Amino acid sequence: AQSVAQPEDQVNVAEGNPLTVKCTYSVSGNPYLFWYVQYPNRGLQFLLKYITGDNLVKGSYGFEAEFNKSQTSFHLKKPSALVSDSALYFCAVRDMGTYKYIFGTGTRLKVLA
């Protein structure tokens, strides 16, 4: 079965510093991977996705993610964090056989001023 794991419940980073939010996956076949962000009392918003091609994927709000097949990881990164980046981040994988999207448990990012 397809699954994703987000090993960190919370990540704290100082404003202006680079940030990384970790995600590892387990899939059969080629992985279709996604990152979403959720602000308080809102729905999830799409940030970026990896389908195929370049291992470094660029997305919204200056975020990017690095796909690493050998480590089965898809970590979310940003070179310089903003206080406004503070939110809940979810990694997800799409099961191509059933069209289900499976989500991780989420990582709360706190950017400190």
- Does residue 32 belong to the site contacting other proteins (CB under 8 A)? yes
Using rule CB under 8 A, residue 40 touches other proteins: no
Site for other proteins contains 25 (CB under 8 A):
no
Rounded Cα distance between 106 and 87, Å, is 10
98, with CB counted inside 10 A (0-12, 13-18, 19+), is exposed
Of 46, 68, 69, 112, the one binding other proteins (CB under 8 A) is: 46
| Residue 95 main-chain phi, psi, to 5 deg | -85, 110
Does position 61 interact with other proteins (CB under 8 A)? The reply is: no
Q: Which is nearer to other proteins, 83 or 100 (CB)?
A: 100
Q: Which is nearer to other proteins, 99 or 113 (CB)?
A: 99
CB atoms within 10 A of CB 28: 10
Q: What token pair was written down for 60?
A: 């919204």
Q: Give the binding site for other proteins (CB under 8 A).
A: 6, 9, 32, 34, 36, 41-46, 49, 51, 90, 92, 94, 98-106
